[in-house]
């Protein structure tokens, strides 16, 4: 399974254990209480056809926290388009992968809010609602389960195959790229200019897509507050944008091995390390300079020609 698989398992567990703390850090002035939300219509969501999550027993449910929408127990993956004004469309597309410790998805702060900002720049954006680790049916039980994880109870056995937990998500990512490219003409997208940006667990999925799904070939990847462990970089790896806060409680203490791996492989990489911002800042407006990550990402896309219309 390799060193990447072992690191993935450890990091996935770490994200799950620290999820409550991580979500609290970017929005301390907002209400952390989880309140149920009715299932949204999701009329624009396209089922990706990767099937039901194997062994799932719980149904998808939504809740509100820190003034934004989250979803749990996703068993069927979907992709929701956010298309730019045709007059502004430049042919670039981005798959947006929200985070949430593989147990929930931050569907607004790291999903639709990002997609709308990209569409305003002429980029066709697609929010990937990928399948998740199952959690208890009620929010109260979900909260208690997270407390148990944080306390160390019910951790998965170390003998578990680390890559097995990523198989459904990688299938969802592959299907998302395939769908966008199959409908490129309809959505005014250049099939060779489809990239991916992910947040926390979504950043792990984005990196895994670039490293473990060679058939996908993302045009570029963006990793926002994801792990920085060194990796083996394949030939022709895509340009990579990385943003992280030094005070991130999960990944802030790591060395920049991932960035060094890209440099050593002579592949394009840009790294922004912000002094403050915590974990999960996403599109939340903050007084820290981490709020500028999106403009920096857009400028980076522009530097690589992805904001200029295809010939």
264 and 280 Cβ atoms separated by less than 8 Å: no
Number of domains in the chain: 1
Give a yes or no: residue 11 inside a domain.
yes
Instruction: Output Rg (C-alpha) for the chain, integer angstroms.
Output: 18
Give a yes or no: residue 310 inside a domain.
no
pLDDT band at 146 (very low <50, low <70, confident <90, very high): confident
29: number of Cβ within 10 Å:
6
Cα–Cα distance measured from residue 75 to residue 59, given in angstroms and rounded to the nearest whole number:
7
Domain containing residue 138: CATH number: 3.40.50.1820
What pLDDT sits at residue 129? 98
For 131, the domain range is 2-303
Give a yes or no: residue 126 inside a domain.
yes
Give a yes or no: residue 309 inside a domain.
no
Pairing of strands 46-47, 61-65: unpaired
What pLDDT sits at residue 147? 79
Helix (H, G, I), strand (E, B) or coil at 289: helix
167: number of Cβ within 10 Å:
12
Give a yes or no: residue 311 inside a domain.
no
Bin 159: left if φ > 0, else alpha if -120 < ψ < 50, else beta: alpha
> In Å, how far are 34, 43, 199, 203, 285 from 68, measured between CA atoms?
10, 19, 15, 20, 13
Helix (H, G, I), strand (E, B) or coil at 245: strand
Residues 37-90 pLDDT 10s = 999 999 999 999 999 999 999 999 999 999 999 999 999 999 999 999 999 999
Give a yes or no: residue 52 inside a domain.
yes
Model-level pTM?
0.91
Give, for 97, the enclosing helix (H) or strand (E). Answer: strand 93-97
Give a yes or no: residue 308 inside a domain.
no
Of 19-28, 94-103, 231-240, 300-309, which gets the smallest average pLDDT? Answer: 19-28
Share of the chain above pLDDT 90, in %: 80
Q: What is the DSSP string of 99-166?
A: -STTTEEETIIIIIHHHHHHHHTT-EEEEEE-------SSHHHHHHHHHHHHHTTTPPPTTS-GGGGG
Give a yes or no: residue 152 inside a domain.
yes
Res 163 pLDDT > 50: no
The pair of three-digit structure tokens given for residue 223, joined into one six-digit string: 């990793």
């Amino acid at each position: 399974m390799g060193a990447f698989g072992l690191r993935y398992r450890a990091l996935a567990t770490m994200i799950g254990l620290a999820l409550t703390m991580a979500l609290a850090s970017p929005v301390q002035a907002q209400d952390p209480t989880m309140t149920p939300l009715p299932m949204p219509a999701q009329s624009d969501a396209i089922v990706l056809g990767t099937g039901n999550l194997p062994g799932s027993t719980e149904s998808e449910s939504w809740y509100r926290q820190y003034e934004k929408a989250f979803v749990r127990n996703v068993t069927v993956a979907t992709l929701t388009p956010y298309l730019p004004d045709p007059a502004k469309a430049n042919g670039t597309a981005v798959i947006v992968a929200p985070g949430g410790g593989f147990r929930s998805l931050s569907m607004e702060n790291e999903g639709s809010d990002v997609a709308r900002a990209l569409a305003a720049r002429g980029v066709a954006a697609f929010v990937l609602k990928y399948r998740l680790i199952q959690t208890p049916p009620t929010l109260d039980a979900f909260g208690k389960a997270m407390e148990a994880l944080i306390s160390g109870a019910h951790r998965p056995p170390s003998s578990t195959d680390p890559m097995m937990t990523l198989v459904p998500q990688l299938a969802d990512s592959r299907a998302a790229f395939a769908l966008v490219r199959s409908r490129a003409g309809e959505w005014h997208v250049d099939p060779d200019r489809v990239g991916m940006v992910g947040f926390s667990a979504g950043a792990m999925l984005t990196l895994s897509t670039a490293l473990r799904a060679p058939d996908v070939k993302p045009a570029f990847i963006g990793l926002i507050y994801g792990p920085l462990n060194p990796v083996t970089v394949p030939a022709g790896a895509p340009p990579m944008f990385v943003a992280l806060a030094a005070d991130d409680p999960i990944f802030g203490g790591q060395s920049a091995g991932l960035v060094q791996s890209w440099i050593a492989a002579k592949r394009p990489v840009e790294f922004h390390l912000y002094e403050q911002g915590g974990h999960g800042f996403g599109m939340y407006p903050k007084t820290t300079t981490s709020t500028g990550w999106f403009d920096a990402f857009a400028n980076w896309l522009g530097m690589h020609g992805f904001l200029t219309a295809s010939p």
